[in-house]
Amino acid sequence: MSAAAEGADGPPAAWQPLTFGGVAAFGGARLGRLLAAELVAAIVLAASVVWFLHRAYCPVILRAIQEMPETARVANGTLQGVPDTLVAESRFLAIAATPQAGREIGQDADLQIQLRQNDLCAGSIFWPEWGLDFSYGRGTALNLARSNLEPRWDAWQPVLQIGTGAAVVVFLLLFWAVLAAIYMAPAKFIAWFADRYLSWVGAWRLASAALLPGALVVAGAVILYGWSVIDLVGLSFFGAVHMIIGWIYLVGGSCKVTRLFAADSNRNPFTA
């Protein structure tokens, strides 16, 4: 059939994607309703990321800047003016300046940034031997003195945090739109198999809504990570779980959309 049967129960009004019925309701809702729900979820997740950066990374960056001597600079592609190894670190982030060639520091923080003699290396505790190296370049000239960096950091820190939050929101909205386009075929098939009516556009909207509960789980995991309740492994675990949650809501929501047939269509017509 091309439409829901007359007399079949329709989904409730779309306003929350936290239950199977709530996700199903977005399959027949207007696009504005979906975008509003996505925007709320994206802002919540972006706010958790900005909060984490402000709590875990910004203090370490400030300490690293304050430890830089006035002679610190990059000139002719080489780190100069740093007499000895300088380290500012927490369990989340470590920033080190190692002017001696070949000098390495231990990988204690989850993320480590090292200014070496000729390049900058960024690595993770997950892959200590797979750091990303960025050469300074022969013509690069950078003033790394505290008197130069600290006022710049004070001025740009709020801008960078707001920009990061906005970038996360935009990325999530685009990512969810693309991922929902991949998920809408399974949603359409599940609805057909369950004798439910779901158009292709409705399948895309339902798939989009099914992704939102997982995003809220990730936001909570970021906060737990920032409070040191879980470690980086735990955060990665929640990152994997949120994909499973999306599929659970996709299946559950697809089975809750409007029936193809009325609920009593299988009743024996010869009984009173």
What band does 269 get if pLDDT is binned at 50, 70 and 90? very low
Residues 237 and 195 in one domain: yes
- Domain presence at residue 64: no
Total structural domains in the chain?
2
- Domain presence at residue 2: no
Residues 232 and 104 in one domain: no
Last residue of a domain, one of 144, 179, 204: 144
CA distance 140 to 32: 48
Residues 111 and 183 in one domain: no
pLDDT of residue 263: 55
- 162: tokens are 């707001």
Residues 75 and 45 in one domain: no
pTM assigned to the model: 0.84
- Domain presence at residue 107: yes
Q: pLDDT tens for residues 184-206? A: 999 999 999 888 988 999 999 99
Residues 162 and 140 in one domain: no
Q: pLDDT tens for residues 38-59? A: 999 999 999 999 999 999 999 9
What band does 107 get if pLDDT is binned at 50, 70 and 90? low
What band does 266 get if pLDDT is binned at 50, 70 and 90? low
Residues 83 and 114 in one domain: yes
Residues 207 and 137 in one domain: no
CA distance 248 to 51: 29
What band does 139 get if pLDDT is binned at 50, 70 and 90? confident
Residues 44 and 85 in one domain: no
- 65: tokens are 């800047």
User: Mean per-residue pLDDT for 91-111?
Assistant: 76
pLDDT of residue 136: 81
- The three-state (H, E, C) secondary structure of 198-267, written as one string: CCHHHHHHHHHHHCHHHHHHHHHHHHHHHCCCCCHHHHHHHHHHHHHHHHHHHHHHHCCCCECCCCCCCC
Last residue of a domain, one of 144, 170, 193: 144
- Domain presence at residue 190: yes
Q: pLDDT tens for residues 235-262? A: 999 999 999 999 999 999 899 888 876 6
Q: What is the extent of the structural domain holding 184? A: 20-51+158-254
Residues 187 and 112 in one domain: no
Q: pLDDT tens for residues 11-29? A: 567 788 889 998 999 988 8
Mean pLDDT, the chain, rounded, equals 86
- Domain presence at residue 58: no
User: Mean per-residue pLDDT for 59-76?
Assistant: 90
Residues 164 and 233 in one domain: yes
CA distance 201 to 206: 9
Residues 169 and 246 in one domain: yes
pLDDT of residue 6: 46
CA distance 98 to 94: 12
pLDDT-above-90 percentage for the chain:
51
- Domain presence at residue 3: no
pLDDT of residue 100: 73
What band does 226 get if pLDDT is binned at 50, 70 and 90? very high
pLDDT of residue 272: 41
pLDDT of residue 129: 61
Last residue of a domain, one of 144, 174, 205: 144
Q: Is the pLDDT of residue 208 over 60?
A: yes
- Domain presence at residue 259: no
Residues 160 and 57 sit within 8 Å (Cβ to Cβ): no
pLDDT of residue 120: 84
- Domain presence at residue 249: yes
pLDDT-above-70 percentage for the chain:
86
Residues 230 and 186 in one domain: yes
CA distance 118 to 120: 7
